Each structure stands twice: as C-alpha cells, then as structure tokens.
Structure 1
Amino acid sequence: MNVLSSIIGKKVGMTTIFDEKGQIVPVTVIEAGPMVVTQVKTPEKDKYSAVQVGFGEKKLQRAKKAEVGHLKKANTAPKKVLSEIRVKAADLEKFNAGQVINLGDLGFKGGDFVDVIGQSIGKGFAGVVKRHHFHPGPEAHGAHEYKRHAGSIGTNTTPGRTRKGLRMAGHMGAEKVTVQNLKVVEVRPDDNLILIMGAVPGHKNGYVTVRVAKKKAAKAAAKAAKSDKS
C-alpha cells in the first residue's frame, strides 16, 4: 500500500547502532504504527480526497462524546492522535473505516530519505541571547545590568513605533518543526520500528509524523521526466 506517503509514530528515544562498515551511527527509534483508518473522505461528500487515521490508545473517560461517536463508526477506540493523509481519488477504494495500517504496508526501507514533523521541546520564557542568539553585552568598563539585554527596540520619529517581527524575549520552543531529508537506517516491520539517522523534533514519547522526503521526491520526479523527454 504505497499510496500513503506518511505514517504517525511515537519517538521512543535515541541510541547507536553499527553499520555494515563497523562505524557507529546515531539513530532515533520511532514506533511507527499501527494506524487505524477512522474515516475516508471523498470528493463527492467532502470536496477532496483523503484518509483520516488514528494512532495511540486514549482512555475512554478522557475522550469527548463527539470523538467517541465519530470513532464508533469505524468500530475503534478513541485515539490520541488523529491526522489526515491526502491520497488520490482513484486510490480511495483501497481504504475502509476500521482498517489497520502497519509500517510494513508503506514500503519504507533502509536508505530512503524522509521528513519528520513534530513539536519541538518547550523551553519556556527565554531571553534574546538564548532565543535569538544575540551577542551579550560587555561585562566590564562600566557595564551594569544589561549584559543579556536586547538593547533598543524603538525608532526615531518615523515611524515612531516598534516594528512588527522585532526579535525579543518570549516563549521558546513547543512549536511545529519539520526536519527534512533524514536517512532511514533500518526498518523493522515486525515490531513497527523505524530507525532514522540523527535527531528528530520533540521529546521522548512525543508524537511525530514520518513522510516521504518531499524535496527528494520532487527532484527524482523532475529527473525522470527530463530523461523521458530525452
């Protein structure tokens, strides 16, 4: 079932493995799937074609009545994560509500490149030195209490206001982050585990989306189209 381009997973943590050359490779272990199809969206009814999937079990008492009723149609329990994956209208017949999708159904293999989407670790309220990498002020020569300050945030009479987008202190992290073109080191479909080289966004046990690398796929498609013309 290679019509799906992404899968929802949970970040288990990081470890190191040895490659075929005996070199240590740092990898992130992601428990990808199984997902359950909770709804199939058709162009006739929803004006676009997509598959809604759920991942991770949620306690019944923590789910809202609307959510329970919606998932009851797919004969499945409440899920911690619900997400939509766009598919072609011609491929919708391959999906049914309640269908289970495992990692092995997507065709990921070692050597592939993927994008990983997740929520970055929250750092709370941070100053400009930590948040925007400002250079700190002098520590001597009469400096007093402004070593890590931002400096002036205003302007002259024109425009006479603080400009939008000015880098200042504020909440850092806890935002959607996409890391592109990460290499898949190993896929273990029996355990629904995928090992990806390097780090991915989020904390341990955080939920992430692993999708086929968009830029790599676009380049490959353009190269194939160019070779066909020649």
Structure 2
Amino acid sequence: MFSLRQLNNHVFMPSSILQNTIIRRYAAQITSIHAITSLKTSPTTKQHTVEEGNKRKQLLERPGLFAIKQGMITWFTAKGEQIPATVLEIDSCEVIDHKTSKEHGYDANVIGTIDKLKNYPRPHELKMFEEAGVSPKHKFGEFRVRDSSNLLPLGTELKASYFAVGQLVDIKGITKGKGFAGVMKRWNFKGGRATHGVSKAHRTPGAMGGNQNPGRVLPGKKMPGRMGTSNMTDFNKEVLHVDGDAGILILKGCIPGPNKGIVRVSDALKLYGKSLNQLARE
C-alpha cells in the first residue's frame, strides 16, 4: 500500500511539490503462529525400520517345532464318528541356537531335527552344534518369538507333549509336486466342447491375447506350467492325540506335503498371536 504525505497545504501537486513528497510502503507485520522459531518438533518415526516392523508383526509367545509327516489314518471319536487324521513324528527336535534383537534385529529360536551323525555336509556349522551340546541335525530353522524372554535354553528337547490335545496349531509345508500341468488340472478350467467342429482343442485354454485389444497377454494370466511344490500354510488344525514318549502327534484332517516330508508345527497364530503394539495397548 502506497500513501503520499504532503509537506504543504497545496491542493494541486505540481512537479515542484512532487519532488518534496515522500513515498512510503506499509506492509502487514502479523507474526504467524507457524513461524515460531523457538518451537522444536521431534523427528518422525520411520515405519519401515526393523524395530518398528517387529512391533507390528503378529508373533507367538513360544516357538514351534519340526515334524515328519508319516501318512493319514482314520480316527474314531468317543461318539463313534469317523474323522480323517494325519500322523506326525517328532524326531530329536532340539534348540541349537538363538537370534537376538541386539545382534540380528529380532528374537528367534533356531531348532533342529533328525540327527545326522556322519558325513555332515557343512563342516562350518559343527561349532554351533558343539556349543549347544547336541548332535548335528539334518534340518534346522528359525522360529520367531515376541522378545528375548521367550528364548529357550540351548539343548532343550521339544517333544510331542509340547502341544496339548484339543488345541489348535498351524502347519507350514511344501505341497506335493505335480509336474507340468495344463490349465484344466492346474486352474480347473472347463475345457472346450467335445463336438460341433472342435478339433484337437478340447483341453486348451483358448484365446488369451487378442489381436488389437489388448494385443498382448496380460501379466498374471492363468496358463499351463509347473504345478505344486509351493509353500502352504494350514491354519487352525486340531490336535487329536499326543504321545510324548513315542514322538507321535495326530492332527485332524490333511496337511500339505508328501509322506516323509518335514513340516513346521506351531501354535495357531490367529488365536494365540499378538503384536507388541497390541500388548502395549492392553
């Protein structure tokens, strides 16, 4: 905003008077509340860090174990009901190492199964078994837990009695390999017609690309390919029978993987799993 301040009482302002006129500019000087320099804010928390990810992750209070699938049987209840069931064998399942949050960013128990007393293929891992006081294992892996208080002592043996009859468990395994399969077997396609001029195209997927629109095969299209041999998790499988001395665990229903395959058995995550953020709110 500009204003003229006259130095005399003349009504008209000739050039001689304009020379003695001072032009000033007045600007608003209201201080914004967002411009307070003395207020310091704390930096935002990076949500993609390992520590923040551990707080959001659904974790169990205790680790699981490895089991060997031995096949399926028929289970009869006290009422005479006939139920399909799967027999699992627990063979020398022991704690061999720990993963701590200070060193690795998370807490986990390393558990091995099936003793391998000779011709161990990885000599650099023998020191780990020696420190735990156990024999070398054919198979071992990590089972994450909530915090360091849930780490089991080295050398602890986990038996089938680790689980209780009636509780629910989760089974993680690798499904059976089916080899190269077509779309009818792999994706349950209906297939083509058996008559009316169909020639050698009864089990083919049919048109999939198009000439001009879209003019290509879209990503994710269900096509023939290798079927099976993929990771799978079965949730909330009921425990029907437990024999700790014999190492036998019987579950209701079927589980992924072939006979003699190794699966991971743990408490039901949807029922017993909680995150650190959820525990803090409680």
Q: Give the TM-score of the pair, scaled to structure 2.
A: 0.70
Secondary structure of 1:131's aligned partner: helix
Structure showing greater radius of gyration is 2
Matched, 1:89 2:144: no
One of 115, 130, 136 as aligned partner of 1:72:
130
Q: Which residue identity does 2:234 align to in structure 1?
A: V
User: Is residue 2:62 matched to residue 1:4?
Assistant: yes
Aligned counterpart in structure 1 of residue 78 of structure 2, from 17, 20, 27: 20
- Correspondence list, 1:180-191, <5 A: 180-191=235-246
What is the one-letter code of the residue matched to 2:157?
V
Q: CA deviation at 1:8?
A: 0.8
The secondary structure found in structure 2 opposite 1:200 is: coil
Q: CA deviation at 1:194?
A: 1.1
Contact 2:62–2:150, Cα closer than 8 Å, also in 1: no
Alignment partner of 1:77: what SS?
coil
User: Following the alignment from structure 2 to structure 1, what is the Cα–Cα distance between the partners of residues 227 and 220?
Assistant: 15
Following TM superposition, by how much is the alpha carbon of 1:159 offset from its aligned partner in structure 2, in angstroms? 4.1
The within-5 A match list for 1:1-230 is 3-58=61-116, 60-87=118-145, 88-92=147-151, 94-96=152-154, 98-104=155-161, 106=162, 108-217=163-272
Amino acid aligned to 1:162: V
Amino acid at match of 2:178: K
Q: When the two structures are aligned, how many residues end up with a matched partner?
A: 216
Higher relative contact order (CA 8 A, sep 6+): 1
* 8 Å Cα contact 2:115/2:135 also seen in 1: yes
Structure 2: unaligned runs, 5 residues or longer: 1-59
Runs of 4+ in 1 over 6 A off after TM superposition: none
Q: Name structure 1 gaps, 5 residues minimum.
A: 220-224
Whole-Å separation in 2 of the counterparts to 1:212 and 1:180: 9
TM-score by length of 1: 0.85
1:122-164, Cα deviation, whole Å (9 max, x unpaired) = 0000000000000011111111111000112213435432111
| Matched-pair contact (CA < 8 Å) for 2:61–2:273 | no
Q: Aligned residues: percent identity?
A: 33
SS at match of 1:61: coil
RMSD between aligned residues? 2.2
